[in-house]
Amino acid sequence: MTTEVSVTVNGETYHVPDVEPRLLLSDFLRDLLGLTGTHVGCEHGVCGACTVLVNGDSVRSCLMLAVQANGAEIITVEGLGSPEELNVLQTEFREHHGLQCGFCTPGMLMTGEDLLRKYPLATDEDIREGLSGNLCRCTGYQNIVAAIRSAAVKRTEKAS
Amino acid sequence: MSSDRRANPSDVLRPRNVGAPIKRTEDPRLLTGNGEYTADRKPDRPLHLAFLRSGQPHARIERIDTSAALGAPGVIAVLTADDIADDFKPVIPFSRMPNYHATPIVPLASRKVRYVGEPVVAIVATSRYLAEDALELIEVDYEPLGAISRAELAIADGAPLLHEEAGTNVLLAREFKKGDVGADLKAAAVRVGGRFEMTRKAPLAMEPRSYAAEYEKRRDAITLYTSSNIPGIVRDAVSESLGLPGHRLRVVAPDVGGSFGSKGSLYPEELLICIAARKLRRSVKWTADRLEDVSSSSQAFAEIVNAEMGFDANGIATSLQADVIGDVGAFSIYPWTCGLEPVQVVSFLPGPYKIGSYRGVVRGVATCKPPTGPYRGVGRPISTFVTERLMDLGAAALGVDPLEIRRRNLVRAEEFPYRIASGIIWDKTGFTECLDAAAEAVGYGQLRKLQAEARKQGRLFGIGIASYAELTGIGSRIAVAPGMPINTGSETAKITIDSTGAITAAFGVASHGQGLETTLAQIVADDLGARFEDVRVIQGDSDEVPMSTGTYASRSAVLGGGAAKHASKILQEKIKRVASHLLEANADDIEVTEGRAIVLGTDRAVTFKQIAKAVYSDMKTLPVEAREELTATYTYDPINGTTAAATHIAAVEVDPATCFVRILKFVVAEDCGRIINPMIVDGQVHGGVAQGIGAALLEELIYDEDGQLLTASLVDYMIPSAPEVPLMDVVHIESESAVAGGFRGMGEGGTIGAPAAIANAIADALSPLGIGVSILPMTPERIFKLMEQAKGREDE
């Protein structure tokens, strides 16, 4: 039994026929849509590398089935900015050396986007708490926190 | 001794890129989802592998029935050891070490299994989902042979033998000796000691191991994309095993999502995927899931150290003796052997200290667990833990401050080069400078006052210091692993300016997060006289240089960087020669900078593009003999390598109710010589310390008595997340080093110092209760038990 899944990803609409109900959203994005920016680190919802935004909320794409995303609007790391034109958060990650191997980075960025959009992030502890569902093994988090802090400041400046 | 002179004055004055916090070249692609990790490869209609792994710790394989699996939807092939017996030669992790038994590495378990997670059957199917479905249909009958779950059990009388050919479970035994330890201990004013243990740990890179064997039918060739930090070693080993020459086997490490050692050995799956691709004449992909990665990638530590240190009345450490038993798992790993980790513990136990006499014995013992292998710091996290605990125990026994006892025992500036009691030679490094700088940065005196106040309030507040030294950038005189026949002493750089004037610098080293594309380009830009943004660095590709062993053992900045400097210099001389023709000036009067050759003191200049055109495309401008190809290759060998050192200081508070340890302050003062990119160096320290925090407080692979892994998910195997890692302060001491460029390796250090510093801080915090720290990680459960025991003692 298969079904068609229609989704909008990064502003582009896809109608994908013959999707198995058991197919993970992460595999759907990577293998069927070719969007390999979303990384799979644990497949049990702990590491956060596969985080994407589904209808504006951060979601672990390894814990969601593709069929559940039918009709949804999804943003992946590919939807944030391009190598030539990084968005604010991506720019701050680069400025503050918030990434090393880059594997957890797409998940960090998507969680970071979600945090920046929804929360005031008054203290660095708030940022660390917000990131507690995303594991990084390279950076010790210090520069990721600094990057999100800086992006938060830039967003506030822009808004005022 | 070394093939290099010290950096000459003009090198010091001119650099523009080396030393600057240049933004990484890697970042734009990695930040936008445009990186390419092995699992992102999209070969034509790839097949997918899934492995049936042993659920038995030690058993004879009686029967394997794959017939039902073969008929399952999407299944192309089912492979057992028998099916591939003629397709490869076992890979032997050879070593010249005496008292060592090599154990052959094979792609699939043959006749018996030796740990839970060992691959037994491989299924090749049209999708990963279908391959995993078919695993359920395979039947294997096992005859249990008895689990060996702990090292002590492996050496007990009557223990079952894991490798019958070896005739023993002790796969290696060694002894290091200097002076008369027995006499010195007897004469010591104070003797301290104990049984210390660091439990088994997972390196746990965020990217699980992943391989893609891309098959080229027209010439029976394979390109193996692998999440490896040793693509050159993998190429040579697979080539030998499969009888496939290097020009038909290319091994590429594309973007690699961390390793920390777990991707730094040859794996059975790498052999199997190449065998399958060749057999089926199709491209094949495999990516481990997290369970597979945790339970089959090389693991770390798992050592018990019984050690004793003697001090004279002045607090000078006179003698050290240690008995190390390493639980090395079921196999000796390629190429490093099972000696890598435990032998290194014994080699480094005297640390940065002038201890007079030493005796260290080590045994590596086979158990029913995955092999231990390289992990960030290799041996030194434990040797540092033990020695630094002994220093603190000695300080307490003598009533000397922990800072002071280290100051009395560290090798001092005027004493380098210094050969420590285990035979390692430290070159000039800022040991005492790091100690002083860390103490100053942390505000040691003030911190002790804070501690006194906290103690008055009954709070469990502790301060811990750890100093260590490590060998980095090791050259050909010392084998990275004991007795290993592979040349780990050199690396090659090949720099080319092509006919368009573009600069490409190719290396065999293989970055997996260190940012080598950036740092090597910084070096090339300065030494060639190019603009940073014009240098493209290629690395991690076995086709680019004839031989390379990759990135490990904190060697790439030293060896890759050294090769880059030399090759740049040779190419710059060629550029000057061509420019002297074009500008009609003496080559000595030409300076090369920013991608142009300029006659000193004039505005006469030619660009690299013009030079390339004159050499390659223009038949008239230059005489034939002056048209030298604009390329330079240099293989650099630092012969001995160089030392790196640091002091870590941690302040912690233990919550007596929850037994959680909170790290209040963490300072690192480190000496990695001349810094190529301070931003990257700080990042490496931060990440290393975070892993050290994991080792000190959280991370433990727990195997039960039946050899079953109880902590195989990221819920049960906890690595530090953002709230557990404190803000870190990093101070740099830049001592001069004799290797090219003055660089010292530094990627591992954070993980070496942090566990010891935190252990000492916890011991200090708990000292009012009479509790010591002798095992890591100090989980809340362990602290709770120790506190309960202490209460029990009080009640008696």
In terms of C-beta density within 10 A (0-12 exposed, 13-18 middle, 19 or more buried), how is residue B424 classed?
A: middle
Shared domain for B128 and B238, answered yes or no, is: yes
Domain span at residue B220 reads: 38-146+208-256+263-296
Instruction: Examine the pLDDT at B486 and tell me if it is beyond 80.
Output: yes
CB atoms within 10 A of CB B312: 16
State which residue of chain A sits closest to B129, comparing Cα positions. A23
Shared domain for A109 and A59, answered yes or no, is: no
Shared domain for A75 and A27, answered yes or no, is: yes
* Residue A72 DSSP SS3: coil
Shared domain for A46 and A106, answered yes or no, is: no
Question: How far is A146 from chain B, CA to nearest CA, in Å?
Answer: 10
Domain boundary (A79, A97, A125) is at A79
Q: Which residues of A5-38 are buried (b: 16+ CB within 10 A; e: fewer)?
A: bebebbeeeeebeebbeebbbbbbbbbebebbbb
The two structure tokens encoding residue B158: 């009557």
Return the bridge partners of A75, or none: A53
Domain boundary (A55, A79, A103) is at A79
CA distance B724 to B77: 46
Shared domain for B604 and B630, answered yes or no, is: yes
Angle at B528 between CA B524 and CA B531, to 5 degrees: 75
With beta carbons less than 8 A apart as the criterion, state whether A97 and A78 touch.
Answer: no
State which residue of chain A sits closest to B39, comparing Cα positions. A36
Domain at A133, CATH number: 1.10.150.120
Instruction: Examine the pLDDT at B13 and tell me if it is beyond 70.
Output: no
Shared domain for B431 and B499, answered yes or no, is: no
Shared domain for B677 and B593, answered yes or no, is: no
Shared domain for B624 and B517, answered yes or no, is: yes
Mutation target vs A (from B26, B30, B663; most A CBs, 10 A cutoff): B30
Residues of B in contact with A99 (CB under 8 A): 27, 30-31
Task: Specify the pLDDT at position A156.
Answer: 87
Q: pLDDT tens-digit profile of B71-118? A: 999 999 999 999 999 999 999 999 999 999 999 999 999 999 999 999
| pLDDT > 90: percent of chain B | 94
Residue length of chain A: 160
Instruction: Examine the pLDDT at B9 and tell me if it is beyond 90.
Output: no
Shared domain for A138 and A73, answered yes or no, is: no
Domain boundary (B278, B296, B314) is at B296
- Test A86 with B691 for CB contact under 8 angstroms: no
With beta carbons less than 8 A apart as the criterion, state whether B650 and B665 touch.
Answer: yes
Q: pLDDT tens-digit profile of B330-389? A: 999 999 999 999 999 999 999 999 999 999 999 999 999 999 999 999 999 999 999 999
Mutation target vs B (from A88, A103, A139; most B CBs, 10 A cutoff): A103
Shared domain for A13 and A75, answered yes or no, is: yes
* Residue B122 DSSP SS3: strand
Q: pLDDT tens-digit profile of A1-35? A: 899 999 999 999 999 999 999 999 999 999 999 99
- Residue B691 within any structural domain of the chain: yes
Backbone dihedral angles phi then psi of residue B562, each to the nearest 5 degrees? -65, -45
User: What sign results for the dihedral spanned by CA atoms B527, B532, B534, B538?
Assistant: positive
Q: pLDDT tens-digit profile of B185-199? A: 999 999 999 999 999
Beta strands in chain A (DSSP E): 3-9, 12-19, 51-54, 57-60, 73-75
CA–chain centroid gap for B425, Å, is 21
Shared domain for B578 and B692, answered yes or no, is: no
- Test A93 with B27 for CB contact under 8 angstroms: yes
Shared domain for A109 and A54, answered yes or no, is: no
CA–chain centroid gap for B714, Å, is 22
Task: Check CB contact of A74 with chain B, cutoff 8 Å.
Answer: no
Residues of A in contact with B682 (CB under 8 A): 97, 143
- What does the pLDDT average to over B242-267? 98
Q: Which long-range contacts (CB under 8 A, 24 or more apart) does A64-67 make?
A: A64/A24, A64/A25, A65/A21, A65/A22, A65/A23, A65/A24, A65/A25, A66/A5, A66/A16, A66/A19, A66/A23, A66/A24, A66/A25, A66/A27, A66/A28, A66/A32, A67/A3, A67/A5, A67/A19, A67/A21, A67/A23
Residues of B in contact with A82 (CB under 8 A): 32
Task: Specify the pLDDT at position B740.
Answer: 80
Structurally, chain A folds into a number of domains equal to 2
ipTM for the complex shown:
0.98
B24 vs B741, more confident:
B24
Shared domain for A122 and A139, answered yes or no, is: yes
Domain boundary (A29, A47, A79) is at A79
Shared domain for A151 and A97, answered yes or no, is: yes
Instruction: Examine the pLDDT at B754 and tell me if it is beyond 70.
Output: yes
Task: Specify the pLDDT at position B570.
Answer: 98
Shared domain for A65 and A17, answered yes or no, is: yes
Residues of A in contact with B204 (CB under 8 A): 137
Angle at B572 between CA B569 and CA B576, to 5 degrees: 140
- Test A94 with B23 for CB contact under 8 angstroms: yes
* Helix (H) and strand (E) counts in chain B: 20, 29
Q: Which residues of B708-738 are buried (b: 16+ CB within 10 A; e: fewer)?
A: bbebbbbeebbbbbbebbbbbbbbbbbbebb
- Test A42 with B290 for CB contact under 8 angstroms: yes
DSSP B478: S
Shared domain for A18 and A55, answered yes or no, is: yes
Angle at B348 between CA B189 and CA B419, to 5 degrees: 80
Report how far apart, in Å, the C-alpha atoms of A144 and of each of A92, B44, B643 are.
9, 37, 30
Instruction: Examine the pLDDT at B2 and tell me if it is beyond 70.
Output: no
* Helix (H) and strand (E) counts in chain A: 5, 5
With beta carbons less than 8 A apart as the criterion, state whether B669 and B434 touch.
Answer: yes
* Residue A106 DSSP SS3: helix
Task: Specify the pLDDT at position B3.
Answer: 36
Domain at A13, CATH number: 3.10.20.30
Instruction: State yes or no: cis peptide before B335, omega within 30 of 0.
Output: yes
| Mean pLDDT score of chain B | 95
Shared domain for A22 and A73, answered yes or no, is: yes
Domain at B100, CATH number: 3.90.1170.50
Pairs across A and B, CB distance < 8 A: 180
- What does the pLDDT average to over B764-778? 97
Task: Specify the pLDDT at position B14.
Answer: 56
- Test B728 with A138 for CB contact under 8 angstroms: no
Report how far apart, in Å, the C-alpha atoms of B38 and of each of B235, B446, B477 are.
16, 50, 35
Shared domain for B227 and B120, answered yes or no, is: yes
- Residue B755 within any structural domain of the chain: yes
The two structure tokens encoding residue B83: 């099916």
With beta carbons less than 8 A apart as the criterion, state whether B207 and A38 touch.
Answer: no
Shared domain for A72 and A15, answered yes or no, is: yes
CA distance B737 to B429: 8
With beta carbons less than 8 A apart as the criterion, state whether B371 and B756 touch.
Answer: no
Q: pLDDT tens-digit profile of B258-308? A: 999 999 999 999 999 999 999 999 999 999 999 999 999 999 999 999 999
- Residue B446 within any structural domain of the chain: yes
Domain at B572, CATH number: 3.30.365.10
Q: pLDDT tens-digit profile of B622-657? A: 999 999 999 999 999 999 889 999 999 999 999 999
Shared domain for B499 and B646, answered yes or no, is: no
Shared domain for B621 and B706, answered yes or no, is: no
Shared domain for B391 and B290, answered yes or no, is: no
Q: Which of A102, A134, A140 minimises the CB distance to B257?
A: A102
CA–chain centroid gap for B481, Å, is 12
Domain span at residue A138 reads: 88-159
Shared domain for B125 and B274, answered yes or no, is: yes
- The set of residues, in sequence order, having a beta carbon less than 8 Å from that of B430 and lying 6+ positions away, is B413, B645, B671, B733, B735
Shared domain for B789 and B722, answered yes or no, is: yes
Domain boundary (B595, B614, B636) is at B636
CA distance B453 to B458: 9
Question: What's the alpha-carbon Rg for chain A, to the nearest Å?
Answer: 16
Structurally, chain B folds into a number of domains equal to 3
- Residue B113 within any structural domain of the chain: yes
String of DSSP letters for B304-348: EEEEEEEE-TTS-EEEEEEEEEEEEESSPPTTT-TTHHHHHHHHH
